Structure 1
């Protein structure tokens, strides 16, 4: 299955779902055109689980797939489907440690999605970094709300410390490596992490690998 490549025309990303499961699965096949059949099977299992179709068997197959093919799935799936996987683990796994790490991953991704969506709505992507404010943050506390203060862009150790705290969670199989993969991709995609990384100047507080 892993070596079989789907040929269903030009790929089109699905949005929402058809009421008829057959139509939904057909749409998924088109989305994964040009990719491994195994990736499609992973997506199909998620759909079956969300529709509670033979739930016990479907989830067992999904879980087994991640334990056996986790390296391949992490490498080939995009963030959307990696997060769909962690959503599924968070909903259904009997191991609360797995559910907790899965929820951590999904929460991180949803927070980024919300932040970047607001950035799109407000045209914030067109904004220019105010270097005077970057400098001001080096020496002054900027209150946000409820005791939170602005991130000291360029030198802050908050994200480095957060990564240190996440390390034990990243070792929880099979979801910990998904957390690591998603986190690392966020350092390279156009996210606040990558944008602040570009402004960081203190090596000992860097948070990326």
Structure 2
């Protein structure tokens, strides 16, 4: 492989510096505030750059990127935006050891707050960030289940979307197919079968295996089960099968009263 020329090295260096330019200033704006202060501070339109209130293409400029991102957190606490900022800094490789230590501290001390206030998108981003930066292979392995779970679901839902007619509502369940899946195991491929709706216990066992991770890593297991439970209440393939389930002994979701 040909070594990069002098101007190519300068271009790469310029690109890298632009991605983290003023990162120290960004970090300082948060360092001057406590966690409780950031929880109490709600982001409003007036706190955002008016030029960034409409969707913009991604930019290498760090401050520009964060300004574009901030408007997505209007109505949320500054702590939620701070969490997103840390992830951006890590993805741009800004002081990775120091920045990840702060990211990890935030999740250890504010687990419940983050899970209850972040969108699922940012919970998944947090899992990916742990996987990319943690030296704890057990934690990374547990959280890889989250990424696999979500990506598999997104692929499935995308295929379903592509198979629908443009501008049409999702097709209703076909009664005879529902009945067939109630009656017996129908072959899929490579020895697999479709989900046996009504009585299938595979998801129950999957959730039980997730729960077993608590002993290995409570934080990672909590994040994994939070995401799994979220999928049971949103309009997903999981919630469709849940609505058709009949057997209480094999149900895989937790009813929160």
Aligning the two structures, in what range does the TM-score lie when normalised by the shorter sequence? over 0.9
Q: Give 1:1-209 correspondences, 5 Å limit.
A: 1-8=38-45, 17-123=58-164, 126-170=170-214, 172-209=217-254
Instruction: Please report how far the alpha carbon of residue 133 of structure 1 lies from its aligned counterpart in structure 2 after TM superposition.
Output: 2.1
Query: Larger Cα Rg: Structure 1 or Structure 2?
Result: 2
Matched residues in 2 for 1:199 and 1:13: separation? 41
Matched residues in 2 for 1:16 and 1:193: separation? 33
Instruction: Please report how far the alpha carbon of residue 140 of structure 1 lies from its aligned counterpart in structure 2 after TM superposition.
Output: 3.2
Deviates more, 1:152-161 or 1:116-125: 116-125
Q: The residue matched to 2:109 in structure 1 has which SS?
A: helix
Q: Which residue of 1 aligns with 2:21?
A: none
TM-score for both structures, normalised by structure 2:
0.76
C-alpha change, 1:46 and 1:15, in structure 2 (3 Å) is: farther
Contact 1:86–1:106, Cα closer than 8 Å, also in 2: yes
Contact 1:155–1:205, Cα closer than 8 Å, also in 2: yes
Instruction: Please report how far the alpha carbon of residue 173 of structure 1 lies from its aligned counterpart in structure 2 after TM superposition.
Output: 3.2
Higher relative contact order (CA 8 A, sep 6+): 1
Deviates more, 1:197-206 or 1:126-135: 126-135
Q: The residue matched to 1:126 in structure 2 has which SS?
A: coil
Gaps of 5+ in 2: 1-37
More helix by percentage: 2
CA RMSD in angstroms comes to: 2.1
Contact 2:70–2:81, Cα closer than 8 Å, also in 1: yes
Instruction: Please report how far the alpha carbon of residue 164 of structure 1 lies from its aligned counterpart in structure 2 after TM superposition.
Output: 1.1
C-alpha change, 1:146 and 1:12, in structure 2 (3 Å) is: farther
Gaps of 5+ in 1: none
For this pair of structures, how many residues does the alignment match? 209
Deviates more, 1:170-179 or 1:86-95: 170-179
